[in-house]
Amino acid sequence: MKLCQFDAVTYLQSLPDNSVNLLITDPPYESLEKHRSKGTTTRLSHSKSSSNDWFAIFQNARFGELFAEIYRVLAPNSHFYLMCDQETMFIAKPIAEQAGFKFWKPIVWDKEAIGMGYHYRARCEFILFFEKGKRKLNNFSIPDVLNVKRIYRGYPTEKPVPLMQILIEQSSQPGEVVCDPFFGSGAVLKAAQLTDRQAWGNDISDNAHLHLSNSLKE
């Protein structure tokens, strides 16, 4: 596992062209601030349930430079998965297409448990599926709704390792490089190791590095 602690764009700028075979990431998107202000989320500056500080927001205005770097570092004929909410989806999709990606579809992650909110409380999140060049999925029988139970009282916005394993096994081969420039709880990196891929990760947060280090010891 190769880890760095930089701003995500700065980290990607340090990687060679075409050096990554698959990129999966979950940036702390800007719309979290709106949910905080309306009181429809527990994404506060400090998480009472998990004792972890919440991360700084990655501004929508920076998606252009982020996606340009992701496109550059990805090898020809590769996939890119972006986890986001329904508001960020409409902002991110056209910017990623401008960077050169082909957009296939949003994949729905059914968390199998209702979340917070007022207007039809959230039970799902979206994973935008992009492609650079042309690469077939490894298994055509996987649906576009992935049922994986969410993590309760974990690291802020923690994603289940089995969810990431599905994406990794669909879009890469053993030995290839899987990268996450906002690794957070480290779910992508752990799933990469479990599936015999090379795990490259970055997160600017001290807590993310501490959490990942502690979880790897368990």
Residue 175 CA: distances (Å) to CA of 22, 34, 95, 193, 199: 11, 40, 30, 10, 10
| Predicted TM-score of the model (pTM) | 0.89
Query: To 5 degrees, how large is the angle CA 14–CA 99–CA 15?
Result: 10
pLDDT tens digit sequence for 54-74:
457 889 999 999 999 999 999
pLDDT tens digit sequence for 81-92:
999 988 999 999
Q: Count CA atoms within 13 Å of residue 61 on its CB side.
A: 0
Q: Which two tokens stand for residue 132?
A: 């650079």
Closest CA to 80 of 22, 121, 17: 22
Can you give the three-state secondary structure of 23-74, one letter per residue? EEECCCECHHHHHHHHCCCCCCCEECCCCEECCCCECHHHHHHHHHHHHHHE
* Annotation: CATH topology of 2-217: Rossmann fold (3.40.50)
pLDDT tens digit sequence for 160-214:
999 999 999 999 999 999 999 999 999 999 999 999 999 999 999 999 999 899 9
